[in-house]
Amino acid sequence: MKNIYLIFFILFNICVFSMPKSVSFNEGIKIGIKDKKPVIVFVSSDYCKWCSKMKEEIFSNKDVIKAMEGFVFVIVNIDNSFQSFEYEGKKLSLPDFMGFFGVRGTPTTIFFDSKGMLITVLPGFVQPDIYIKILEYIKLACYEKNISFKDFSSSPKKCVKR
C-alpha cells in the first residue's frame, strides 16, 4: 500500500511541477511566426547549477507557467554540440549560434517577437516575480511602444493605455 502512495506522489509531482513542453529552436521560431507567438529560448547546460535552479524555480513555477501561455518555449542545451540552427536564412553551428546571439554562458534566456526577430538576451538567473513581469512586458509588446522595462515595472498601465 505504501508503494501505491509513493507512486501516486511521484506522478502527482511530475504532472503538477513539470516544465512546459519545449521544441527545437528551428521549430520554435517557425511555430512562433506561424502562430504569431513570441518565443522564449532557454540556453542551458547539464553541469550548470543555475540552469537547474531556473528549471526548478522558474520553469516549474505554476505562476510562471501560466504567464508563459501564448509563448513558444525552446530549450537549447549547449552540451549537445552537434546541433545546427537556422535563423534568418543562415545556418549556424552551436558556437555560431552562441556568438550570433551574444550568449556568453548559461543560463541565458533569449526572447524573440512573433515575427522571429530578436527582442533581447537575458543572461543569468532571474527570480520568478521578475521573470513574470518580463513575460508580461514582452506579451504586451511594450518594447515596441518605447516603454522601458523599468517604467513598465513601476507602472504597467503605461504600456496598456497606449
Q: Using alpha carbons only, how large is the chain's radius of gyration in Å?
A: 17
The whole-model pTM stands at 0.85
Q: Assess whether pLDDT exceeds 60 at residue 162.
A: no
Asked if 96 contacts 15 with a C-beta cutoff of 8 angstroms, the reply is no
Local confidence band at 11 (pLDDT 50, 70, 90 cut-offs): very low
Burial of 125 (0-12, 13-18, 19+ CB in 10 A): middle
Rounded to whole angstroms, how far apart are CA atoms 45 and 102? Answer: 16
What domains sit in the chain, N to C, each tagged with a CATH number? 20-161 (3.40.30.10)
What pLDDT, on the 0 to 100 scale, is given for residue 82? Answer: 86
Helix (H) or strand (E) holding 108: strand 108-112
What pLDDT, on the 0 to 100 scale, is given for residue 159? Answer: 83
What pLDDT, on the 0 to 100 scale, is given for residue 104? Answer: 94
Q: pLDDT tens digit string along 12-42?
A: 444 444 677 889 999 999 999 999 999 999 9
